[in-house]
Structure 1
Amino acid sequence: MLTLLFSCNQEAKDINLDEEIGTSDFIKAFKPVELPVQFKQDYFEKKESDSNYIKSSVVSKFIPDSIFKNELGKTKDAKFYRKGSYAAEETGEIYLFLTAEKKEKRYAYVICFDKDEMFKTGMLLSEKSSNPTVTYDGSLDKRLTITKLKNSSIGTGKAYYNKSVYVYNTEGVFTLILTESNEPVVEKEVFNPIDTLPMTQALSGNYAQDKKNFVAIRDGGKNGKLLFFINVDKYGKSCTGSLRGDITQVKPKVFQYNKADDHCILEFTFSSSGLQVKELEACGNHRSVRCSFDGRFSKQRKKNKK
């Protein structure tokens, strides 16, 4: 459901023809809409209007291709359509809604620019399902809450759902604030992105509580530096999160993650038996709201190479 609000005061440039366009022109090309905005399965059965078409080369000027990579791969063969915009009254961020088509696939995205019209983030909102037993629904409501819903059914007629709720925060990211599901739990092995990196230094190694709650420490490129990856998944999925980065030694056997553009500060204290992690400043951008990276992790024996 999209309700358009037309403005007669300003005439938007044709962003597909005018090469001298800026971010402001790009945003103005999306007509203002009222909330809620919702993309259900029946939406994707409708033909898009050519008047809303945007060249993929224009989209790439203002929105990173990485936003669309998982679904579209290369965007040059995709068709994009502008579906509206909404500017938050209090905080000023601007939400753009656009759809993309590639062959038989169709997707809806929400893209966010800050009040200064700087691109901040974006995410897949909904998509056309190729499975008749699965439907997707995505929306932004009047509270500026993004809800993504997947409904599915199996041969027995039992219905399943998986709901994720997000909000945009002042750090320029969409934060997951709620997950609900009655889907059967399928255990998956957690991918450790630094698993194969060298761990020859004394403190390097794997520290764990269990298979889903662990810290991987690997050699750093300089003295007093180490690489880390931490993953937490506990309390029945109500506390999940992960973070990868560099840590710097601040005193003997104590290291900190303290990145200039990230309000999160983590302290890693090593001992002969393991590692203690403590959040010195909240790391909410990297984990669930009612959650923490805090914890003690036991050091695992290094596997001998054959």
Structure 2
Amino acid sequence: MKRYLLLLLTIGVLAACKTKKKPGGGADEPMTFEDFKALFTPGVLPYKLTADTLRMPLADSLSVDTADVHRFLTDTLTKGDYGKNERVKLFPLQLIPGNEVDFMVLKAVGKSQTTGYLCFLDKKGKYLNRIRVANTGSADGSVMGVNIDSKNVIKISTEKKLSGSNTALKEEFYAVGKDGNTQLIMTNSNGPTNPGQIFNPIDTLPRKHKFSGDYTSGEMNIVSIRDGDDPKTFLFFITFSKDNGNCKGELSGKGHYIAGNRGEFKDKESSCGISFQFSSGRVSIREIGGCGAYRGIKCFFEGGFGRKKK
């Protein structure tokens, strides 16, 4: 009888252990997306993340497993910011509902720097895109912070120390669409500028793809191409000034490479589209839709541009 009771007790204990769930633990019961979301503090807009906030230490026990970030978000979250073999700890910060997309904020801590990333998720929780929005110190001595207002406009502020007590502040304002793509809508800067100097908002992004680089036509006309999240996409920034400055245009976004040496951009918010034709050391662009919202009425996004040496 005692043996029978002991056997029943053993079976009961094993059954209890089997049904008890440990979020994110073990290969039998991996972390679910609901478990992953629960690691983030619920937030509301407006939201602000500064370099000083990033510097505040967090307990290692609050970090999230890199494998879970790769599974639910992206395996390229810290791409371009940390060395290949550099150990980086990831911390979940905030989960904030937005109008078009929801915002998920993560903190990355490495040996070289601490960085804040803003991830965009659709309303079903599918990862769409990410941007780097905060940093405790880049190689040039600048620091970054972000503010998202109640209208979902993202302002990224970059501050750089100059000589003495002087600082240069640059503010970039972005809108984000349902697909997670961002659109630069305005730039403010109190930093020193030189005649003929162009502010390029994607200048410091990676340029490893064979077509990535800066293409120019005169001093005030540039087509800047940078690496996308994968080999089939690219980021671009176009600015031009024609007719002695009487007609200007500026546009940035995310394009896709298509057959041959061609690329294409289609604006989700309007009929604007740009075609890119790459050749040896050159790129030609032309409008394939009305882009009047981004340029003067008497000029177009068109022409050939020669590649500038890095």
1:48 to 58, 78, 92: 58
Question: Mean alpha-carbon deviation: is it higher for 99-108 or for 26-35?
Answer: 26-35
| Distance in 1 of aligned mates of 2:64 and 2:144 | 24
The correspondence of residues 1-306 of structure 1 with structure 2, limited to 5 A, is: 14-15=23-24, 19-74=29-84, 77-88=87-98, 90-91=99-100, 93-129=101-137, 134-185=142-193, 209-210=217-218, 213=221, 232-235=238-241, 239-241=250-252, 243=255, 245-246=257-258, 257=264, 265-266=273-274, 277-280=286-289, 290-291=294-295, 294-297=300-303
Describe the SS at the equivalent of 1:59.
helix
Contact 2:286–2:302 under 8 Å retained in 1? yes
Change (3 A) 1:230 1:27: closer
Which residue identity is paired with 1:108?
A: G
Q: Over residues 27-62 of structure 1, what are the superposed CA-to-partner deviations in whole Å (9 max), with x where a residue is unaligned?
A: 233221133322222213321134421011221112
Shift of 1:137: 1.8
Contact 2:23–2:30 under 8 Å retained in 1? no
Change (3 A) 1:179 1:75: farther
| Distance in 2 of aligned mates of 1:174 and 1:168 | 4
Shift of 1:264: 5.6
Aligned sequence identity (%): 17
Change (3 A) 1:295 1:98: closer
| Distance in 2 of aligned mates of 1:257 and 1:42 | 40
Q: Which consecutive unaligned segments of at least 5 residues does structure 2 have?
A: 1-20, 225-234, 278-283
Change (3 A) 1:55 1:158: same
Q: Which consecutive unaligned segments of at least 5 residues does structure 1 have?
A: 1-11, 197-206, 217-228, 249-254, 270-274, 284-288, 301-306
Q: Over residues 196-215 of structure 1, what are the superposed CA-to-partner deviations in whole Å (9 max), with x where a residue is unaligned?
A: 9xxxxxxxxxx975366478
Shift of 1:67: 2.9
Using structure 1 for the length normalisation, give the TM-score.
Answer: 0.63
Shift of 1:240: 4.1
Shift of 1:121: 0.6
Shift of 1:119: 0.6
Which residue identity is paired with 2:300?
A: D
Change (3 A) 1:107 1:299: closer
Shift of 1:95: 0.9
| Distance in 1 of aligned mates of 2:60 and 2:146 | 23
Describe the SS at the equivalent of 1:34.
coil
Describe the SS at the equivalent of 1:135.
strand
Which residue identity is paired with 2:173?
A: V
Which residue identity is paired with 1:39?
A: L
| Distance in 2 of aligned mates of 1:156 and 1:62 | 45
| Distance in 2 of aligned mates of 1:15 and 1:65 | 18
| Distance in 2 of aligned mates of 1:115 and 1:58 | 20
Q: Over residues 70-123 of structure 1, what are the superposed CA-to-partner deviations in whole Å (9 max), with x where a residue is unaligned?
A: 1124488210111120112x44x2211110111252111111110111110111
Could you say which structure has the larger radius of gyration? 2
| Distance in 1 of aligned mates of 2:60 and 2:189 | 38
C-alpha RMSD over aligned residues: 4.5
